[in-house]
Structure 1
Amino acid sequence: MRAGVAAAAVIGVLVLGATAVRFGPALVSVQAEEPGRPVVRVPKTVAGGPSRQPTSAMTFTPDLPLVQNSLYKAGRVPTVSCKLPAAAQTSKAAVSAAAAVVLDCLDRAWVPVVAKAEYLYESPGLVLFDRAKDKSCDLRELHASAFYCSRENKIYLEWKEYLQRGSWNRQIDLLDTMAHEYGHHLQRLVGILTYGWDPKASQTSPAALLKSRRIELQATCFGAAFLGATKTSLRLTGSRRATWEFQTKHSGDEYNPDKLRDHGSRTSQWRWAGPAFQSMSPASCNTFTAAQTKVS
């Protein structure tokens, strides 16, 4: 889930296979997904996990997929052509069309990177929901404008949050949000989500919040690498890029009304997003070896 932006804080959840992780006022249980069990995911592939297996020269520990993941060494995100719809996002159909284009661009950009890292690839589904009506991803209560449901392998968008009202800022919000939530999808593909959480531990303990910040800031970083690689066709240049930078620098836990330190401060948001936008590489995103002061 993307951190809050400016005064309009966004509260949400990242729904993992084994648990619903608290990113806001409510922790809601969901049906467990057995670790390692093959899962039918929407819409393309059935996969039981990464194709890359530990060798005799590798001592496998739960932290290995976090700190030594081959995705970090898979090279830059390639530039792909992304043509956003000309129509403004003034209806659910228009938001859906824009989100679908961005998702397609994310797939095309990340497929070769994931393949080079020697992991199986699959595309996530995309669901537009109405927070006032829908009970998405088995959640009984939801306050998020967007989230990634790991159990279903779907990105959920509360479409009304991305309607344009006299400016193109909402389109930039959509680009950034989709890139961030897709970052969580990448984390699942390469095993980071699997080993990133202890479902038996308190999700509000200092240790759990620290790991949450590492996961969230990494998703932001992966998203920024994609945005940097596709900045020209997504028109993230000039004033539009300045708007994205402003929004990123004014996102973070400071804007969460509950002051829950689970996504990272505004300083940390830019600390990871800025360099990744420039490098266009997941090599910039190893938050799990960073000092705690870098993921504050």
Structure 2
Amino acid sequence: MEWKGRRQSDNIEDRRGTSTGRGGMGRDPFGRSGMQLPTGGRRGGGMSIGTIIFLIVIYFVLKMMGIDMLQLLGDGSMQQQGSGYEQSIGERPSQPASDEMTAFVRTVLAETEDTWNGIFKAAGKTYEEPTLVLFAGRTASACGTASSATGPFYCPGDRKVYLDTDFFRELNDRFGASGDFAEAYVVAHEVGHHVQNLTGILPKFNQMRQSMSEVESNQMSVRVELQADCFAGIWGKYTQQKGLLEAGDLEEALNAAKQIGDDTLQKRSQGYVVPDSFNHGTSAQRMKWFKRGFDSGKVDSCDTFSGPV
């Protein structure tokens, strides 16, 4: 994908200098639920008396020097307010970094903005551009605390896309999906959820799922995710029309869609599949709907809610 030298989006919030440690809710990328892994340390999480005394002595020594450790520790904390989380006042976001990965993400986000601004304008509507949050380790969102294990996701509560900076390496090493267009597909998929949020699809789904069984909710979730894949394909079509795609780029995106299908992930992790637990779609379905959006470039071709998927 030829992305260098193109417009970069300003809708980036870089929190990599302020993320608060590792851990958090353990989930596979793209929202698959999982179990939180136990952390290391002493059994029961306790400290010895000698350690406690040592820490107390250090605290008072630093206090005499004018350094308040409690205040320093509190500056990086997160506090829950209302239905989500917010950064504490002492946590000051850093300026966007100038590394190549950041430039790539900003460029891809700008391309999605151009695509959806044009589509919405043609329909007589205004596209409200989302913010993309770059973080490392752990950060806060209106949907709860996100960790490096969460993977990329879109939070409708604050209309932001969250992306851990290490995920692209994981996409290559863990999922076998390499290439810049594969990485761009990930961003375009999450922006697709933002489009669903703006058009009322996501709020309607979240309302309906309250009265659904787990199996029914998973089935509807698959349709939501496949539509986001189709929307990502539409972005890919517009990118191709600009002459930005290189040989093999489409194959990179299709391979990424294949590697993150529910059946492929379950076979890799546990050796068998449980179709009732699918919530993103099979590899074949994800490839099919991305390709449908890519081939047509039209939103009305992405109706995953009518008929079989």
TM-score (norm 2): 0.61
Residue 247 of structure 2: aligned partner? 238
Correspondence 1:107-256 to 2 at 5 A:
107-130=113-136, 132-137=137-142, 139-140=144-145, 142=147, 143-163=149-169, 169-198=178-207, 201=210, 205-231=214-240, 233=242, 235-254=244-263, 255-256=265-266
Partners of 1:278 and 1:185 in 2: how far apart?
A: 21
Residue 3 of structure 1: aligned partner? none
Residue 294 of structure 2: aligned partner? 277
- Whether the aligned pair in 1 keeps the contact of 2:142 and 2:155 (CA below 8 Å) is yes
Displacement of 1:210 after TM fit?
Answer: 1.2
Displacement of 1:153 after TM fit?
Answer: 1.0
Structure-2 change in CA distance of 1:171 and 1:10 (3 Å): farther
Residue ranges of structure 1 left out of the alignment (5+ in a row)? 1-8, 14-22, 34-90
Q: Radius of gyration: which is bigger? A: 2
Partners of 1:246 and 1:194 in 2: how far apart?
A: 30
- Whether the aligned pair in 2 keeps the contact of 1:114 and 1:121 (CA below 8 Å) is yes
Equivalent pairs: percent with the same residue?
Answer: 25
- Whether the aligned pair in 1 keeps the contact of 2:154 and 2:160 (CA below 8 Å) is yes
Structure-2 change in CA distance of 1:176 and 1:92 (3 Å): farther
Displacement of 1:275 after TM fit?
Answer: 1.9
Residue 105 of structure 1: aligned partner? 111
Structure-2 change in CA distance of 1:204 and 1:25 (3 Å): farther
Partners of 2:304 and 2:223 in 1: how far apart?
A: 5
Partners of 2:178 and 2:81 in 1: how far apart?
A: 34
Displacement of 1:150 after TM fit?
Answer: 1.0
Residue ranges of structure 2 left out of the alignment (5+ in a row)? 1-26, 37-79, 85-96
Higher relative contact order (CA 8 A, sep 6+): 1
Displacement of 1:177 after TM fit?
Answer: 0.7
How many residues align? The count is: 216
Alpha-carbon RMSD across the aligned residues, in angstroms, is: 3.3
- Whether the aligned pair in 1 keeps the contact of 2:226 and 2:285 (CA below 8 Å) is yes
- Whether the aligned pair in 2 keeps the contact of 1:92 and 1:159 (CA below 8 Å) is no
Structure-2 change in CA distance of 1:200 and 1:285 (3 Å): closer
Partners of 2:125 and 2:304 in 1: how far apart?
A: 20
- Whether the aligned pair in 2 keeps the contact of 1:92 and 1:160 (CA below 8 Å) is no
Displacement of 1:241 after TM fit?
Answer: 2.4
User: What SS does the corresponding residue of 1:98 show, helix, strand or coil?
Assistant: helix
- Whether the aligned pair in 2 keeps the contact of 1:126 and 1:155 (CA below 8 Å) is yes
- Whether the aligned pair in 2 keeps the contact of 1:30 and 1:138 (CA below 8 Å) is no
Partners of 2:229 and 2:101 in 1: how far apart?
A: 21
Partners of 1:153 and 1:178 in 2: how far apart?
A: 14
- Whether the aligned pair in 2 keeps the contact of 1:127 and 1:157 (CA below 8 Å) is yes
User: What SS does the corresponding residue of 1:201 show, helix, strand or coil?
Assistant: helix
User: What SS does the corresponding residue of 2:133 show, helix, strand or coil?
Assistant: strand
Correspondence 1:68-87 to 2 at 5 A:
none
Q: Deviations over 1:75-113 (max 9, x none)?
A: xxxxxxxxxxxxxxxx98322211111111111111121
Residue type of the partner of 2:282?
S
TM-score (norm 1): 0.63
User: What SS does the corresponding residue of 1:169 show, helix, strand or coil?
Assistant: coil
